[in-house]
Amino acid sequence: MKKNGYLLTELIVVLALAAIVSTMAAPVAVHRRRNQYAVDTTVSELVTEMRCLRTRSIGNRGQYGAGKLYVRPKEYVLTTDPLTVRKEQAFPKGVSVKGTGIVSFDGDGRPEGKTMHLVVETDDERYKRHIIIAAQTGRIRTE
């Protein structure tokens, strides 16, 4: 008969249940974090490409060789002129982009096209990052 406290058996059962629950939750957390890292890496890569493209456009004053960035749901293509593909890169598995289109800049660094907002997200849409290009200045920022 117990009056106060817990039996050793009860304590062992509770610890065993806690261990089982934590081992089931750990793979889900690791998978989710891996997808978040893939989104963050993709955003960083796209922003770097956009900033290089913008810098090249300002340096050339919008003339020859400024290039364009074609963003599609599962890949992007970077061109230096209409006939030359400089880079074609698929997004990591589990990552997609909304707001696709063509990103290019004029000689003053302002965006030329309508694509000024991209959303990079996991396929399950639980984690997303935004890439925003300011219409007046061409400044590229992430949220």
Write out the DSSP string of 69-98. Answer: EEE-SSEEEEEEETTEEEEEEEPPTTEEEE
Residue 68 in any domain: the answer is yes
Residue 2 in domain: no
pTM of the complete model? 0.77
- Establish if 71 belongs to a structural domain: yes
pLDDT(44) > 90: yes
pLDDT for the residue 65: 60
Query: Does residue 1 lie in a domain region?
Result: no
Contacts of 70 (CB under 8 A, 6+ apart): 76, 77, 78, 79, 101, 102, 103
Give me the residue label for tokens 């399950």.
124
Residue 76 lies in a domain: yes
Which pLDDT tens digit goes with each residue over 111-141? 887 778 999 999 888 899 999 999 888 899 9
Residue 3 lies in a domain: no
Q: What range defines the domain where residue 85 resides?
A: 8-142
Identify the three-state secondary structure at position 134. Answer: coil
Give the number of domains in the chain.
Answer: 1
**Residue 33 binned pLDDT confidence (cut-offs 50, 70, 90):** confident
